[in-house]
Structure 1
């Protein structure tokens, strides 16, 4: 294998054959610099190559100068003329053949440049814009159609030593998120405007980044000629008002980005008008680049589930906040439970004991606390605005608050019978449990009055039907004296049970509702006893046939 400097002579020879020359002045010891030209259908384009001498990074390529045809903005070009030609993850740099790999990447760069010169790829890689934009972040917590008045807060995070803004249409909801983040928050005396654009942004290759409103308007005019007039109209509408700043959020086809304009004082406004006419007195106003980052509940829920069903807007009750229910509750919230008008209810009468700590979602700081209420507090750190409530009581002592889905995560067979008998007629019931000492995990979804209920399945199992494994499962307990007995298994089993249950819940929320009985065998010493299927109601079941 040729490594580092050993491969440089061979690479130089190949590049010289392509018309590149080693630069007389080498800017850095880490890079080998060469100058030459890329061949395109529009003619040669001068460029500078910077080759990583260790071959750990792909070649850096700069156009010197940027052709007039690509000004003032162009995709895949940074403001300093650097050409972006290969996204990370789209290539594997072969350390055993660095010369051939480097030449292949340079050829790819030449192809990309040729496409740019022909006017192609105009909408490619709009996301690269945030590599060049954003002096600070603005977290946008806005739901609905963004028609409500928006308020902006200045946020000083002590924990991460950073300053940012929060944009919201619901102060009560957003304040829950701000409280979890910590730090100091202050509402700004600022107006907020949303402006639509039909063009995704790209950095200007003439003057970047824009320092004042005049430079920003010139840049926006090159992207979408209708946007500058919209910006000026909004700023003029507040120029005579007593506001300190004006935040404008540009909604492009791909994403949102924004900037803050520092509005002049009353004395400055008079001075500026005397010096200039029309809108020109606004051009010197300083701007602050703002990267808009969505943190609304809809985005947080759907970001990892695009166009897929989720648990938002639904009323869900989880009975049992133990080793399964703790993880299941968190997964449910991350899938949208308790958000956008939904509600998640957690029910468990027990407190967290030391024997729970090795496999529970809660930790040492929650010892002797009621599991349900402690879990609500913990999950609200994950999703502060989620609508979650806790009942620290036995589910048999209350009337459930009309949920869309009941999840039994207790693993208590007797309680499972009771839930099936009382709610099977009009509520879907999802049961999730662990068999033996972590031998297998199972879930059963019983739709309102149809299919086998949890009691049906237990009776089937006693008759050796629909069993999780073929082998017999021995009861294994740990404990001595008056200590409570419990079944030993690691937290990984609890997590797998929760995941299996969540997959079934997500399928219930969407069009895919089969199979209703699912099994995952955990222990390698056991073999699967039945395939995933849809058991029918057992004739004469005392829970669901009365």
Structure 2
């Protein structure tokens, strides 16, 4: 909160550093003053709106002295200087003066470092290149880029419309675009005769010597400096492709290691008509009189499945994998969402197959991923429909009914049992061991007791335990837990003639997280430890070590074979 005493302290501290107050309103306070750098002074405006300091005070450059680089990283089109990454520093709300002075010092140091170190300036611009690409021009527009086939030289542009709103999407997959439109609520999809020419570069976009290109001539010069191979590809296209002169302008989409860049410019209509069948002459015109043609640098947002599912991963995703999930209940619902987020159901052969015999009832929604809007629907089908809405184009198959033992069940890359029902797990374990063919790995995951712990077992090799190895073999302690985890019997609830085990919504989420982590380790190439337990804080359980578990002697499932 801003009070008179706090404001007085801030004013005195800023006045001593050359800042003076400007017209303000309410809690929003504006000050102007100098940032004193090693090579001179930069006048700035300091705006403090949030006195809780959840948001950093804004600092704007009021002037650009000659010693500042023409192209300056961390500066937006309206002059805001991004001197701190969001949440990189916690400001002390109990010390407003210190918090504000710290921000001023941080801005000064960052700006001074860029002035003194041209290499850092260039590197920062390269790292943040996409944020700068469209600033400082009269107008701009956004293009969404979906899947573009490898090797494709062009991608058609679709227009998505909803009332007065519209989006442009470039993609070589019309089905993906229509699925995207349906998912985000755009009922109309118009095919377009226009297209983006696709170019590709393996080189990170370079920081230009001065400003970003604003004309065709500057664009050619920038491409030549950034990536000569990219420039040659563009020049060959302009010289030999007659088709592009059938349009009133040229639109380019460039795929780079930093992301997509877009550029467009209109043709002079008389020149275009004159050189309609002479692209080489038109290219020469662009390098001469046509070089003054203004370009528009386009904001491009990648919405392709490849980007969506791999952006947050430091390993390959589940694209092109066939994943079978048995059980779409409390655990399976959260797990199906996680698997989809990791790319399950994507790629030429990828698919996510969901099995569950049950329907969603009011007794489920308290701890299920799905809500009351799915009441009465089969769990597998409801989950599949929800995932298709969230991830347009995903391949999800659903089977309502008990899982059946057949060869098709094993036609997968990974089978996950999230039923939490030991009888189902025993059956699947038996089928895996009895199969007369190479079988995929099986992952069993469950909530233990009333949610005190969650456990998972990965089975992929006869050298390690099967699911039945978690129980004692025939003998004095037959069928008891191999590793005693719970110190108290679970509390059961009853509804009519049905019993259920109550546990909090966090328990299936924790189980799904454990299973997701094991799938991630599989993708990384090392799923060890194959047997894992995670216990909740303050739970009355025994410690069970995570490890690659050996088969238990006398196991009736795996040792008898």
Shared fold, TM over 0.5: yes
Cα RMSD of the aligned pairs, angstroms, is: 3.8
TM-score (normalizing by structure 1):
0.83
Deviation at residue 423 of structure 1 after TM alignment: 1.0
For the Cα contact (< 8 Å) 1:429–1:445, is it kept in 2?
A: yes
| Worse-matched range after superposition: 281-290 or 117-126 | 281-290
SS at match of 1:5: helix
SS at match of 1:357: coil
For the Cα contact (< 8 Å) 2:253–2:263, is it kept in 1?
A: yes
SS at match of 2:443: strand
Unaligned runs of 5+ in 2: none
For the Cα contact (< 8 Å) 1:65–1:81, is it kept in 2?
A: no
Q: State the partner residue of 1:254.
A: 258
Q: State the partner residue of 1:473.
A: 489
**Residue 338, structure 1, aligned to residue 355, structure 2:** no
Label 1:3 to 1:527 Cα distance change in 2 as closer, same or farther (>3 A): farther
**Residues 245-394 of structure 1 aligned to structure 2 (within 5 Å):** 245-263=249-267, 265=269, 279=287, 282=290, 287-306=295-314, 308-340=315-347, 341-394=349-402
Deviation at residue 197 of structure 1 after TM alignment: 8.4
Label 1:230 to 1:148 Cα distance change in 2 as closer, same or farther (>3 A): closer
**Residue 503, structure 1, aligned to residue 503, structure 2:** no
For the Cα contact (< 8 Å) 1:2–1:98, is it kept in 2?
A: no
Deviation at residue 162 of structure 1 after TM alignment: 4.2
Q: State the partner residue of 1:534.
A: 548
Deviation at residue 81 of structure 1 after TM alignment: 5.2
Label 1:65 to 1:421 Cα distance change in 2 as closer, same or farther (>3 A): closer
**Residue 413, structure 1, aligned to residue 422, structure 2:** yes
Label 1:468 to 1:522 Cα distance change in 2 as closer, same or farther (>3 A): farther
Alignment counterpart, residue 141 of structure 2, candidates 129, 136, 144: 136
Label 1:33 to 1:189 Cα distance change in 2 as closer, same or farther (>3 A): same
| Worse-matched range after superposition: 226-235 or 522-531 | 226-235
| Worse-matched range after superposition: 29-38 or 429-438 | 29-38
**Residue 47, structure 1, aligned to residue 43, structure 2:** yes
Deviation at residue 479 of structure 1 after TM alignment: 1.2
Alignment counterpart, residue 440 of structure 2, candidates 427, 441, 447: 427
Label 1:396 to 1:428 Cα distance change in 2 as closer, same or farther (>3 A): same
Alignment counterpart, residue 166 of structure 1, candidates 169, 172, 179: 169
Label 1:52 to 1:232 Cα distance change in 2 as closer, same or farther (>3 A): farther
Deviation at residue 431 of structure 1 after TM alignment: 0.9
**Residue 64, structure 1, aligned to residue 78, structure 2:** no
Label 1:229 to 1:58 Cα distance change in 2 as closer, same or farther (>3 A): farther
For the Cα contact (< 8 Å) 1:129–1:201, is it kept in 2?
A: no
**Residues 388-407 of structure 1 aligned to structure 2 (within 5 Å):** 388-399=396-407, 400-407=409-416
**Residues 5-154 of structure 1 aligned to structure 2 (within 5 Å):** 5-15=7-17, 20=18, 22=20, 26=22, 30-36=28-34, 38-40=36-38, 43-52=39-48, 56=53, 57-58=56-57, 60-62=59-61, 64-67=63-66, 70-71=69-70, 73-79=71-77, 82-118=80-116, 119-121=118-120, 122-125=122-125, 126-127=127-128, 129-130=130-131, 133=134, 135-142=140-147, 145-154=150-159
Q: 2:285 & 2:165 partners in 1: Cα distance?
A: 39
Deviation at residue 301 of structure 1 after TM alignment: 1.7
SS at match of 1:395: coil
Q: 2:450 & 2:291 partners in 1: Cα distance?
A: 72
Label 1:510 to 1:124 Cα distance change in 2 as closer, same or farther (>3 A): same
Deviation at residue 419 of structure 1 after TM alignment: 0.9
Q: 1:517 & 1:21 partners in 2: Cα distance?
A: 63
For the Cα contact (< 8 Å) 1:195–1:248, is it kept in 2?
A: no
Label 1:109 to 1:188 Cα distance change in 2 as closer, same or farther (>3 A): same
Unaligned runs of 5+ in 1: none
For the Cα contact (< 8 Å) 1:47–1:63, is it kept in 2?
A: yes
For the Cα contact (< 8 Å) 1:8–1:53, is it kept in 2?
A: no
Q: 1:506 & 1:199 partners in 2: Cα distance?
A: 29
Q: State the partner residue of 2:533.
A: 519
CA shift digits 1:90-132 (9 cap, x unpaired): 3333333333443343333333333333324211153265267
SS at match of 1:356: coil
Deviation at residue 404 of structure 1 after TM alignment: 1.7
Label 1:195 to 1:318 Cα distance change in 2 as closer, same or farther (>3 A): closer
Q: 2:404 & 2:556 partners in 1: Cα distance?
A: 18
Q: 1:343 & 1:209 partners in 2: Cα distance?
A: 44
SS at match of 2:72: coil
Label 1:300 to 1:248 Cα distance change in 2 as closer, same or farther (>3 A): same
Q: 1:363 & 1:53 partners in 2: Cα distance?
A: 39
**Residues 176-191 of structure 1 aligned to structure 2 (within 5 Å):** 176-183=179-186, 184-191=188-195
Label 1:22 to 1:412 Cα distance change in 2 as closer, same or farther (>3 A): closer
For the Cα contact (< 8 Å) 1:136–1:163, is it kept in 2?
A: no
Q: 1:515 & 1:271 partners in 2: Cα distance?
A: 68
